[in-house]
């Protein structure tokens, strides 16, 4: 008969666990009987008694260490041998891989034993509990411990305003570590991963998207916080690619850890635990979701594979050279605009970004020259260039009104100073411009200057062929297709 992978084999368990926890039950019951006030004050009495010996003191102040030493002396007078308990708990972790993976510290282990066995059995034994009932209680405890599967930790990073067809999608990176998996979670699961008790998550209202970047792995040397930061960073990088892949607001909101088996999740996560900032309101009433269609999956996969190659990663990590610095500054503000809920704040971020790319070094006639350069760089036809020129000029006028305090206060307070549609239009133009500059940078060298690009844009105003050549060179789709074929 095949073994059940959910059950931890007897050979991998700590063989003396039953005797040990029953010993603790007896000890705690006696201390509770003789110290009822202490028992009432500290419901998890075993954790309280053992913590002065098992807490990690590396991060504690000298005053806190002195306090623990006084607490040790007080607890020792209760006939509790903390040093021996620490030794025993260390033996459990050294002898039982499953428990060690689920309980990374002695304090976690003490909390597990106390929460799931010692406290409740000690209270029952004080009322009189037969050996048969004790044995049954331990069997229930062993079932919880060893029959819920092996340890696994899961990082879930919410993609704000994101939607897709189906409930799951995978995008392969240039190496297995860069692979990305997206899962749609149902409404009952989201409160659970957040640590909320309601049917609808307060921190995750409807309309903000229910898709998450999901990472699963077993135990590792990284502590939970460092591990979650690492997984969140990967999700942030994937969201960056989404922000440039197509128009629309999208970004990583919060990231949460979740642990299996369920008892390990209770021990390692107390209450709410997340990184980032949950966004409380849908974007435009959920009417402008950033949606990836199945037909676009292959192209997005190509973008992600290329973005995770060593060459591209090195170019993006570089912050030297005036061209790269201009792209970096513009990119920072463009990406931050996805996270800002206020339209005026988004306007300012986009204005700074577009100036970073197109502002001339002599600073003369900024409004006209920035609008003209943006239109020339991304507009494929004269009619489109005219539309872009007018739109970017309008954006610059709005930005100037804000900076110089010349806007209509009543209009501003009513939320009519700038519309979401206008912001989205300017963001779309900026995205295209950033991709064009990025393409030219990736085709050149890391120390490239920005001025030659601006000169070519200026010259294109009087030479249509030069403009067509420049826009062709700045086509990122063509570059990514070329890089994918070369398998860099």
The average pLDDT across 190-198 equals 86
Q: Is residue 401 scored above 80 in pLDDT?
A: yes
Contacts 24+ apart (CB under 8 A), 8-17: 8/98, 8/145, 8/146, 8/147, 8/150, 12/96, 12/97, 12/98, 13/96, 13/98, 13/146, 14/91, 14/92, 14/95, 14/96, 14/99, 15/95, 17/92, 17/96, 17/142
pTM of the predicted structure, to 2 decimals: 0.90
| Model pLDDT, residue 111 | 96
The average pLDDT across 90-105 equals 96
The average pLDDT across 470-483 equals 92
| Model pLDDT, residue 488 | 46
Angle between helices 464-473 and 451-460 (to 10 degrees): 140
* 3-state SS string for 186-244: CCCHHHHHHCCCCCCCCCCCCCCCCEEEEEEECCCCCCHHHHHHHHHHHHHHHHHHHHH
Element (H, E) at 468: helix 464-473
Q: Is residue 187 scored above 80 in pLDDT?
A: yes
CA distance 101 to 218: 8
pLDDT digits (tens, 9 = 90+) for 314-348: 999 999 999 999 999 999 999 999 999 999 999 99
């Amino acid at each position: 008969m095949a073994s059940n992978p959910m059950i931890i084999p007897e050979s991998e368990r700590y063989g003396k666990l039953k005797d040990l926890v029953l010993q603790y039950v007896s000890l705690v019951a006696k201390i509770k009987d003789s110290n009822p006030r202490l028992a009432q004050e500290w419901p998890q009495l075993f954790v309280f008694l053992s913590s002065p010996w098992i807490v990690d003191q590396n991060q504690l102040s000298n005053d806190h260490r002195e306090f623990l030493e006084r607490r040790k002396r007080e607890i020792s007078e209760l006939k509790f041998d903390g040093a021996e308990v620490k030794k025993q708990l260390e033996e459990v972790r050294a002898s039982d891989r499953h428990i060690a993976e689920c309980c990374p510290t002695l304090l976690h282990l003490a909390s597990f034993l106390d929460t799931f066995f010692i406290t409740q059995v000690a209270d029952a034994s004080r009322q009189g509990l037969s050996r048969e009932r004790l044995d049954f209680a331990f069997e229930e405890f062993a079932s919880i411990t060893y029959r819920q599967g092996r340890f696994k930790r899961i990082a879930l990073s919410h993609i704000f305003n994101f939607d897709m067809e189906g409930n799951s999608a995978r995008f392969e990176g240039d190496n297995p570590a860069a692979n990305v998996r997206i899962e749609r979670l149902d409404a009952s699961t989201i409160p659970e991963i957040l640590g909320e008790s309601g049917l609808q998550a307060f921190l995750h209202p409807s309309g903000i998207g229910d898709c998450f970047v999901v990472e699963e792995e077993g135990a590792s040397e990284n502590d939970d916080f460092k591990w979650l930061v690492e997984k969140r960073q990967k999700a942030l990088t994937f969201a960056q690619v989404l922000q440039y892949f197509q128009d629309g607001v999208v970004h990583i909101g919060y990231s949460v850890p979740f642990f299996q088996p369920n008892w390990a999740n209770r021990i390692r996560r107390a209450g709410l635990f997340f990184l980032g900032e949950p966004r409380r309101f849908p974007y435009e009433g959920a009417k402008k979701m950033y949606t990836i269609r199945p037909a676009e999956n292959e192209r997005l996969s190509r973008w992600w594979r290329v973005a995770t190659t060593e060459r591209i990663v090195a170019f993006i990590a570089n912050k030297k050279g005036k061209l790269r610095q201009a792209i970096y500054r513009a990119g920072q503000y463009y990406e931050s605009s996805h996270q800002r809920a206020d339209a005026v704040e988004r306007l300012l971020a986009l204005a700074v970004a577009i100036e970073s790319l197109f502002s001339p070094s002599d600073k003369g006639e900024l409004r006209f020259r920035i609008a003209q350069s943006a239109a020339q760089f991304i507009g494929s036809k004269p009619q489109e260039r005219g539309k872009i020129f007018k739109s970017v000029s309008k954006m610059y006028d709005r930005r100037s009104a804000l900076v110089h305090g010349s806007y209509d206060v009543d209009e501003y307070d009513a939320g009519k100073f700038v519309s979401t549609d206008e912001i989205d239009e300017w963001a779309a133009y900026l995205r295209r411009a950033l991709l064009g500059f990025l393409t030219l940078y990736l085709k050149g060298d890391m120390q490239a200057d920005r001025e030659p690009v601006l000169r070519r844009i200026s010259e294109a105003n009087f030479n249509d062929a030069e403009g067509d050549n420049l826009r062709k060179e700045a086509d990122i789709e063509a570059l990514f297709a070329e890089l994918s074929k070369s398998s860099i």
